[in-house]
């Protein structure tokens, strides 16, 4: 009898907590076979999406206010390691978007390890990648000044720790995010980033700037649109640092071939002394709303970043076939 009462009390507590805050478990599992001059390797970190899991929740505080949180962890189930992160450490737990936020009619203020809004402006133009990370991650890196590492303690990563962000509410199709990183981390860097997006007449526009330390700045503009089922997009990046001035761009398109099957092509290049180029052709087949199979072929000139998950490759081309499931 006592055990039954305890169980009922526990269920009542869980139900009460769930009523106060909505909590969701989510993630993606992605595996791919990657073939290059280095050989054939398994990527458990993902080349279509990335492999990750997380929990997020929110609570209505009344008066138009809402508290929310997110804890997200990149994984590589092929070697049981943390992966696909940024900010404090690629191998730390909850190494991706992990923050607490307060939102309302004024917008949202958040603190923690957060997605770099500048990255989002560049990826606005990467529609030719069909949201396949094995295409857009190398393309993003090579458009900037000195291809980024993407992980470790680098503030160049997709996710940046020790940050405060403010995001405006939707202002008639216009929204903006400001990010500030002041607290020192292992690489003693600071970052300020501003990104804005605007949608009008079926055209999505974005622009952003990222200022690292005292001597490095990157600025981007991008756009995409869809005409008769074909999506077009492009991004242009300008980078400046002490003794260096570089420009880069990416352009691409994606389109349906048949029901559930889409194709994409993306080209990226910079104007460094040793120019880096990428051509990517990809196919994506939706087996369901949550599961997709994909094929990627990338050809490179002088690239150091050839895959999303960091699988070591060499040579001028990489062929990838994979499967992803979202939950």
Domain 24-326 has CATH 3.30.70.1230: no
Domain residue ranges of the chain, discontinuous segments joined by +: 24-326
Q: Is the dihedral of CA 89, 95, 96, 101 positive or negative?
A: negative
* 3-state class (DSSP) for residue 127: helix
Question: Could you please report the per-residue DSSP string of 187-202?
Answer: T---EEEEEEEEEETT
Distance CA 153, CA 85 (A): 10
Distance CA 306, CA 160 (A): 22
Digit-coded pLDDT (tens) for 165-215: 999 999 999 999 999 987 555 555 678 899 999 999 999 999 999 987 767
Distance CA 261, CA 256 (A): 6
Average pLDDT over residues 210-231: 90
Strand partners, 107: 104
* 3-state class (DSSP) for residue 131: coil
Q: How confident is the model at residue 11 (pLDDT cuts 50, 70, 90)?
A: very low
Note whether 135 and 287 are within 8 A (CB): no
> DSSP state, 124?
T
Note the pLDDT of residue 309: 62
> DSSP state, 242?
T
pLDDT over 90, % of the chain: 53
Mean pLDDT rounded to a whole number for the chain: 83
Digit-coded pLDDT (tens) for 133-168: 888 888 887 787 643 333 333 445 688 888 999 999
Average pLDDT over residues 115-137: 91
> DSSP state, 168?
P
Q: What is the pTM of this model?
A: 0.84
């Amino acid at each position: 009898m006592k055990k039954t009462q305890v169980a009922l009390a526990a269920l009542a507590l869980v139900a009460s907590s769930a009523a106060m805050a909505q909590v969701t478990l989510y993630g993606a599992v992605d595996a791919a076979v990657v073939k290059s001059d280095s050989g054939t390797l398994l990527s458990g970190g993902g080349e279509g999406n990335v492999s990750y899991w997380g929990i997020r929740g929110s609570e209505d505080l009344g008066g138009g206010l809402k508290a929310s949180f997110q804890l997200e962890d990149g994984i590589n189930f092929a070697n049981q390691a943390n992966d696909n992160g940024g900010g404090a450490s690629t191998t730390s737990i909850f190494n991706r978007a992990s923050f607490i936020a307060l939102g309302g009619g004024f917008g949202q203020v958040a603190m923690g390890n957060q997605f770099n809004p500048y990255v989002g402006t560049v990826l606005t133009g990467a529609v030719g990648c069909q949201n396949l990370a094995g295409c857009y991650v190398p393309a993003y890196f090579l458009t900037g000044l000195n291809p980024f590492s993407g992980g470790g303690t680098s503030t160049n990563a997709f996710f940046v720790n020790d940050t405060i962000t403010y995001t405006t509410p939707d202002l008639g199709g216009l929204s903006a995010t400001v990010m500030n990183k002041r607290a020192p981390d292992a690489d003693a860097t600071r970052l300020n980033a501003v990104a804005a997006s605007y949608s009008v007449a079926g055209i999505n526009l974005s622009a952003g700037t990222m200022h690292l330390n005292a001597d490095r700045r990157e600025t981007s503009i991008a756009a995409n649109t869809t005409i008769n089922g074909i999506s077009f997009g492009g991004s242009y990046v300008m980078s400046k640092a002490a003794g260096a001035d570089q420009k880069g761009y990416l352009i691409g398109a994606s389109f349906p071939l048949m029901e559930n099957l889409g194709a994409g092509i993306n080209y990226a290049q910079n104007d460094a002394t040793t120019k880096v180029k990428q051509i990517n052709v990809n196919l994506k087949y939706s087996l369901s709303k949550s599961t997709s199979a994909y094929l990627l072929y990338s050809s490179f000139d002088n690239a150091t970043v050839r895959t999303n998950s960091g699988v070591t490759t060499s040579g001028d081309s990489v062929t990838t076939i994979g499967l992803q499931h979202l939950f």
